Structure 1
Amino acid sequence: MNRIALLLILCISFTQAQTKDEQMLRKIYNEALSNGKSYEWLQHLSLTIGHRLSGSVNAELAVNYTKNELKSIKGVNSWLQPVMVPKWVRGLPEFAYIETKNGMTTTVPILALGGSVATPASGIKAELIEVKSIEDLQKLDPSQVSGKIVFYNRPMQDELINTFESYGGCVDQRYAGALEAGKLGAIGVIVRSVTLANDDYPHTGSMSYGDLPVSKRIPAAAISTNGANLLSSILSLNPKTKFYFKQNSQVLEDVESHNVIAEIKGSQYPDEIILVGGHLDSWDVGDGSHDDGAGVVQSMEVIRLFTELGYTPKRTIRVVLFMNEENGLRGATKYAEEAKRKNEKHILALESDAGGFTPRGFSFDTNQANYDHITQWKSLFEPYYIHLFDRKGSGADVGPLKDGKVVLAGLRPDSQRYFDHHHSERDTFDAVNKRELELGAATMAALVYLIDTYGIQE
């Protein structure tokens, strides 16, 4: 066979494969948009069950609901993986006010940060020290901080297009702010909500005291961005302004919860696992529809799409709904430990944990060979306006699986509105668009299909 004939055969084979893949992706999107179940599942998860903080009754209701729904899909085997999780409860609603002089107060909305201790029963009131960062705080003499409430007031950067980059630039003050302030003798911490929106909704989130002794652990709360702006303006006029807040949160003993797992066994390479997942827990404000109810139901929809289309995967397709991403990552850690103990071989771990907005593409944590292998399929996604492929990480729950071989990936929806809702009362079912949610599920399924068909670079 001469060289020209060989090239012609290769071109025909490539064209035929591309046509087959285009047709399969079209079927996936058609089914998701015409007959998808993700929106229906999310409606039940959000409106019937509600928020799902780790260790709560609602979290276990969500475990049982999703397990049974997955089990009802033909050919799918589902089970629960026990995991011990922290149990933190908010208690009665928080209350706070700014006091400019005796008897002159203005109430502001706050939320205790997840994991924070309570204030004394009567609350705390003190002068404040305003800082823009932990680094600014650490430059101060302890005498300037002792006995005061530290007010962290660094906003997300408006000019950054990637809002997750903006989030990463200031979330340390929420997570470690109380730890660092406690070391200097502060009696409390108020943190500007990590959101780009200017509104009256405080945004909670996890925080840590590290190895700080219990006696030095101080209460920490998030204040809404409008409240933070007001407080900062008042402080600029009157540095002796005082702040009062009361919260009733408690850290209780760990309790048992579960990861929800379901799979379709591969027909040719059953030992090679393609994982799709999101986290089942949420914060206890709002109903967790975007964070991460959307990722949960999109992952469930991936496996339903394949069974509905009669697609027999070569490799095992596994859905994992992780528990305790928000305040501990216990579910992800447990899953990775068990996978290692069983010597399981994961080739792709794809997570959806960035909201149910319009999908834009994927972010990958992998080597150059696999990245080049995957990006050759980029043209297959372009008819669906999926154009973003980069190597900027994956997701928190799939991270513990990293071993240098598995391709870690994250679905990347449009992020401009995500932090308006994130960890706040605004994260509700009515904020999710049905079509955008379904497009995300189909996009995940499309990538899973291509990895299942062509594998990865060993």
Structure 2
Amino acid sequence: MQFLRATLAAGLLLAGLALPAAAQSSTAKTDSLNIRKLYDEALLRGQSYENLRYLTGQIGGRLSGSPQAEQAVQWGKQVMEKMGLDRVYLQEVMVPHWERGAKEKAEAKPGKGKPVSFNVCALGGSVGGKLKAQVVEVQSLPELRALPAEQVKGKIVFFNRPMNPTYIETGRAYGEAGDQRRSGAAEAAKRGAIGALVRSLSLAHDDFPHTGTMRYEDGVTRVPAAALSTNGADQLSALLKANPTLTFELEMSCRELPDVKSYNVVGEIKGSKYPNEIITVGGHLDSWDLAQGAHDDGTGCVQSMEVLRLLKATGLRPERTVRAVLFMNEENGNRGGLKYAELAKAAGEQHLAAMESDGGGFTPRGFGIEGPAATVRQLQQWQPLFQPYGSGEIAPGHGGTDIGPLKDQAKVLIGYECDSQRYFDIHHTAADTFDKVNRRELELGNASMAALVYLLSKYGL
């Protein structure tokens, strides 16, 4: 503890050098000490890790519309009720219900050689079916559109553009390469193809295929779409170079069922001075079905709930109302985020800010701010308070999918940002399990989020 106190003192000294004179007051010191309380509570008595252990181990993957998603709703409600919050409630929302079915099968038959099996998984929302056809490999949607129709018709289009490894921010690489997953099947069908294969959106080289949502278009034939692992994509590309006329067989039994009633889970602490001004902090309760949905986004859910617990445990009652929201259906529709914004607007609520954690539970780095430049600068004045904890990077960025529909209602959207280098190794795969989450990293993130909520609640914008 003496070491921690020394670190704090050094941080305060640096803060004093960086902040204007007004911020070197006793109020600034009080804020520093209160933030230290939040970190101490998170690191000494944090509950998020054990909450995550239960969510992932006892409930598991929570695809919208599934029994596990319903179990997760009841679990989230019970956890927040036990916290003794001022209010805990559910928001009804209709969500898609897609089922993967039996494990997918795929193999290539390169002429006279032995068949080669591949690890594949259906993309979320895909239709099922059995395919047997030749394969045409492309690197992009424009390349597909430029091909003569006879080179595509009746074939399976294989999109093999990797994420760009030179980008330091891996989310940028993910977003740039994601068009082939989202729109590849529809674009392939427009050219007469009977199916689509997509290289997994990952910088890792392994045998885990990555699922994720894809979109069909009205008036365009719906063809099956599956992801290949990165190793599988490299292998198929090599086989095609040796034998461009090889045959690929794919079998999937996924299907779309009628929408299902589900819920967002909401807990709140009423503001002591400005109860009508709301700060929302949330993550999405649903996950893909291949694994336990630990980093995506079990960590975001337990962190959001822990923000409220930390405020209560330290006696730092917020001056503005703080809500934790466990959103349903971020992965394949964002129905929960849309419903939350719809209800907030109908109720005439005043949202000061909304924060989302959906980048995993890794080491905290800071926050991405989606809002006016003046607001970004204002939040950046608090950077010295976060620097002793390694989470002082505050810059323009993306808020998040769930809170995106609040853009016209909230003064600012905030994305909690942590180290992103490992996230897309496990994102949307069977490897997204509890054992990949480090307790200390998770708890440091909890405290970082709670600290910013504390400051927003105290000072507003």
Shared topology, TM-score over 0.5?
yes
Q: 1:281 aligns with which of 267, 286, 297?
A: 286
Return the offset for 1:409. Answer: 0.4
SS at match of 2:402: coil
Q: Distance in 2 between matches of 1:75 and 1:321?
A: 15
Alignment coverage as a number of residue pairs: 442
The letter of the residue matching 1:261 is V
User: Aligned pair 1:200/2:207, yes or no?
Assistant: yes
Paired residue for 2:144, among 137, 143, 146?
A: 137
| CA shift in 2, pair 1:13/1:336, >3 Å | closer
Residues 388-403 of structure 1: matches in 2 within 5 Å? 388-403=393-408
Q: Check whether the contact 2:128–2:254 (CA below 8 A) recurs between aligned residues.
A: yes
Q: Shift of residue 376 of structure 1?
A: 0.3
CA distance in 2, matches of 1:450, 1:327: 33
1:319-338 mapped onto 2 (5 Å cutoff): 319-338=324-343
Report what 1:74 is aligned to: 84
How far off its partner does 1:180 sit?
Answer: 0.4
Contiguous gaps of at least 5 residues in structure 1: 1-9
Whole-angstrom CA distance in 2 between matches of 1:19 and 1:92: 59
Return the offset for 1:293: 0.2
Q: Hey, what's the Cα distance between the residues in 2 that align with 1:202 and 1:287?
A: 15
The CA distance in 2 between the partners of 1:143 and 1:387, in whole Å, is: 55
Query: Mapping of 1:300-379 within 5 angstroms?
Result: 300-379=305-384
Aligned AA (1:186): A
The Cα shift of 1:382 comes to 0.5
Q: What SS does the aligned partner of 1:130 have?
A: strand
- Say whether residues 1:444 and 2:449 are aligned partners: yes
Change (3 A) 1:426 1:251: same
Q: 2:419: which partner in 1? A: 414
Aligned equivalent of 2:256: 251
Deviation digits for residues 7-43 of structure 1 (CA, Å, limit 9, x no counterpart): xxx9477421110010011000000011000001000
Distance in 1 of aligned mates of 2:326 and 2:183: 28
User: Deviation at 1:267?
Assistant: 1.0
CA RMSD after TM alignment = 1.2
- The correspondence for 2:65, drawn from 55, 61, 73, is 55
Q: Which residue in the other structure is 2:96 paired with?
A: 86
CA displacement at 1:404 relative to structure 2: 6.7
Residue 440 of structure 2 corresponds to 435
Aligned partner of residue 369 in structure 2, secondary structure: strand
1:150 aligned onto 2:157: yes
- Mapped partners of 1:109, 1:212: distance in 2: 31
Of the three residues 404, 424, 429, the one matched with 1:424 is 429
Shift of 1:454: 0.7
Instruction: Call closer, same or farther: CA 1:12–1:141 in 2, change over 3 Å.
Output: closer
Q: Please name the residue that 1:46 is paired with.
A: 56
Contact 1:179 1:212 in 2 (8 A): no
Unpaired runs of at least 5, structure 2: 1-19
Task: Identify which range, 291-300 or 383-392, moves more after superposition.
Answer: 383-392
Structure 1 residue identity aligned to 2:277: E
Provide the rounded CA distance (Å) in 2 between the counterparts of 1:435 and 1:306.
19
1:166 aligns with 2:170: no
Tell me how far apart the structure 2 counterparts of residues 428 and 279 of structure 1 sit (CA, whole Å).
Answer: 16
User: Residue 229 of structure 2 corresponds to which residue in structure 1?
Assistant: 224
Q: CA deviation at 1:74?
A: 2.1
Offset, 1:211: 1.4
> 8 Å contact 1:99–1:106 — kept in the other structure?
yes
For 1:66, the aligned partner's letter is G
Secondary structure of 1:47's counterpart equals: helix
Cross-structure match for 1:385: 390
CA contact (8 A) 1:265 1:317 kept: yes
Alpha-carbon separation, structure 2, partners of 1:12 and 1:410: 28
Distance 1:13 1:356, change over 3 A: closer
* Maintained 8 Å contact 1:111/1:222: yes
- The CA distance in 1 between the partners of 2:22 and 2:191, in whole Å, is 71
Identity %: 52
Q: Which residue does 2:184 correspond to in 1?
A: 177
SS in 2 for 1:39: helix
TM-score by length of 1: 0.95
**Which aligned pairs between 1:281-300 and structure 2 lie closer than 5 A?**
281-300=286-305
CA shift for structure 1 position 419? 0.2
2:111 pairs with one of 93, 101, 114: 101
For the 8 Å contact 2:206–2:229, the answer to whether it is kept is yes
Distance 1:14 1:271 in 2: 30
Instruction: From the superposition, tell whether residues 329 and 450 of structure 1 become closer, same or farther in structure 2 (CA, over 3 Å).
Output: same
User: How far is 1:254 from its partner?
Assistant: 0.4
Q: Any idea what SS the aligned residue of 1:185 has?
A: coil
Within 5 Å, give how 1:14-53 maps onto structure 2: 14-53=24-63
Following superposition, the deviation at residue 386 of structure 1 comes to: 1.4
Counterpart contact for 2:351–2:411, Cα < 8 Å = yes
Is this contact kept in 2: 1:294–1:437, CA < 8 A? yes
Q: Matched residue of 1:259: which SS?
A: strand
Kindly report which structure 2 residues correspond to 1:116-135, keeping only aligned pairs within 5 A, or say none: 116-119=126-129, 123-135=130-142
Q: Give the 3-state SS of the residue equivalent to 1:169 in structure 2.
A: helix
How does the TM-score come out when normalised to structure 2? 0.94
Taking structure 1 as reference, are residues 142 and 383 closer, same or farther at Cα in structure 2, changes over 3 Å only? Answer: same
Q: Are 1:211 and 2:221 matched, yes or no?
A: no
Check conservation: 2:181, 2:198, Cα contact below 8 A: yes
Provide the rounded CA distance (Å) in 2 between the counterparts of 1:231 and 1:247: 19
Kindly provide the CA deviation profile for residues 380-407 of structure 1, in whole angstroms up to 9, marking residues without a partner as x: 0000011321112210111100117521
